[in-house]
A and B are shown apart, each in its own frame.
Chain A
Amino acid sequence: VTLRCPSWSRTPATDPSFSRGTECLLFDYVGLTSGETLLLVHDPRVEAVAGQFTAVAERANARVRRVSADLDRSSVIARLDDCDVALFVELDASHHTTAVLDYLAGRDCEPRIHRLFGATVETVSNGFRRSQSLLRRRNLRIIERALGDNALTVVSPSGTNLELQVDRTACWTSTCGECADGYPGVLPPAEINTRTADVHGVLVVDGAIASNLGWPLDARLRANPVTLHVASGTVTKVECEHKLVQQLIEEFLAVPGANEVVEIGIGTNDGIPHFSAADTLLNERYASFHLGVGLADARDPRRNIHIDFILGDCTITAGDFTILEHGRFAAELDDTTRSLPTLDVALKLHDAI
């Protein structure tokens, strides 16, 4: 286990995949067009990344204004009035969270606001290799499949065997970076998730671990898989050969209510080639299954502690239909000749705020 990788210290300008990722991020996901004014609010630790965004946007004849996220709340919010689109360039924390939600309340996403979590060179280079339209279509079709069979099964070569009954009364989330319903667009893309109490089986977590508390060790778990035993939507036992990893998870789960499964998710971005050592949202978007546990009350930040357990290679099925196998999604999920499904379920477009 090593320290979290300080990959934001890399120089972005020399990396061609970073340039391509930046263009996809700004022009496809954020929808920046020539003549628009872009406001970048950046964590000071990722100033170099924001600088590269500025250069790319200006080459496309956009006007760019850049401020530090350390600026006081009222100064940042005042600047939103003078832009067409705002991008919060974050590292491991969300800045001015409540103020942005208050600002967007009652507005029809004018200006458009997006928040890029874990804005490292790695995230931009690896997280934006798939178009928004592709991932949006894939997300909706996976939800359609899950609802059609009312159940999902997850197995993996490492020993995962999990049965999930879909809760038809629960809301689903599809995140593709869209600013909607009073919430900023969440980036990097993409995943779907929902909640159900009907989760049973064993999860051998050999991908990565993620937490909104900031996981303090190497996020990757391939060398130290974590085995979770789950019964009726509750984690009942944790096993890991790395004792510090096991201790930290057990300490988290010991918080009253924190051993409850609050999220079943599928990362749908198969452009991400590998897990990151750093605990960033990118890992959750990796094409695989993840299980989120903890307290998830968005109205009370003190009751909002969360850990995601992300599998490596796994197979996800809905009845006889294989959604994901060996990192590849079923081709018919991406079929562009069919119209998008109409889902008989509540759907929201954000998960992290």
Chain B
Amino acid sequence: MSEDNDVTEFRRRIAAGEAQWLIDIQGARSVRLVLTKKQQDVLRRATKQTFTAATLVLQSVHDDSPVRSALCNLEPGDDASRQ
């Protein structure tokens, strides 16, 4: 097969989503957000605790339906971070 044919075939596979073997990587994606003081205050009023960052774990971000929910892991801050 010539290089031109190989390139054409590669382009066809991109368009068709036609993999020759599959990669298996877990689908969750997470985003870590460092919270502003104002956001920390809002959370402190709701929880009586201080959190300085929140990690959102999003599942199946490639699904056609839009992401509407996420698992949230709140990271507690120390006393100094409350100032």
Nearest-CB residue, chain A, relative to B1: A3
| Chain A interface size, under 10 / 10 to 19 / 20 to 34 / 35 or more | 35 or more
Report whether B21 and A94 are in contact in the complex, using a CB–CB cutoff of 8 Å. yes
Cα A295 to Cα B2 with chains together (Å): 28
Report whether B10 and A305 are in contact in the complex, using a CB–CB cutoff of 8 Å. no
Report whether B24 and A212 are in contact in the complex, using a CB–CB cutoff of 8 Å. no
Cα A113 to Cα B7 with chains together (Å): 33
Report whether A170 and B30 are in contact in the complex, using a CB–CB cutoff of 8 Å. yes
Cα A147 to Cα B76 with chains together (Å): 19
Q: In chain A between 277 and 330, which residues have their CB closer than 8 angstroms to a CB of chain B? A: 292, 294-298, 301-306
Q: Nearest chain A CB to B67's CB is how many angstroms away?
A: 12
Report whether A296 and B55 are in contact in the complex, using a CB–CB cutoff of 8 Å. no
Binding site for B on A (CB under 8 A): 1-4, 90, 92-94, 97, 117, 165, 167, 169-171, 173, 183, 193, 195-198, 211-217, 233, 244, 248, 251-252, 255, 257, 260, 262-263, 292, 294-298, 301-306, 346, 348, 350-353
Q: Nearest chain B CB to A158's CB is how many angstroms away?
A: 25
Most chain A Cβ neighbours within 10 Å, of B6, B9, B27, B55? B27
Nearest-CB residue, chain B, relative to A296: B25
Q: A212-B21, A217-B3 are in contact. Are A169 and B14 (CB under 8 A)?
A: no
- Residues of the A chain whose Cβ atoms lie less than 8 Å from the Cβ of B66: none
- Residues of the A chain whose Cβ atoms lie less than 8 Å from the Cβ of B3: 1-3, 216-217
Consensus secondary structure, chain B interface: mixed
What 1/0 flags go to B11-36 for Cβ under 8 Å of A?
10110111111111111111110000
Nearest-CB residue, chain B, relative to A183: B24
Report whether A297 and B6 are in contact in the complex, using a CB–CB cutoff of 8 Å. no
Contact of B20 (CB < 8 Å), options: A4, A165, A171, A212:
A212
Judge whether B74 is part of the interface by a CB distance below 8 angstroms.
no
Q: Nearest chain A CB to B8's CB is how many angstroms away?
A: 8
Contact of A303 (CB < 8 Å), options: B17, B21, B29, B71:
B17
Report whether B18 and A196 are in contact in the complex, using a CB–CB cutoff of 8 Å. no
Report whether A296 and B32 are in contact in the complex, using a CB–CB cutoff of 8 Å. no
Report whether A352 and B22 are in contact in the complex, using a CB–CB cutoff of 8 Å. yes
Judge whether B73 is part of the interface by a CB distance below 8 angstroms.
yes
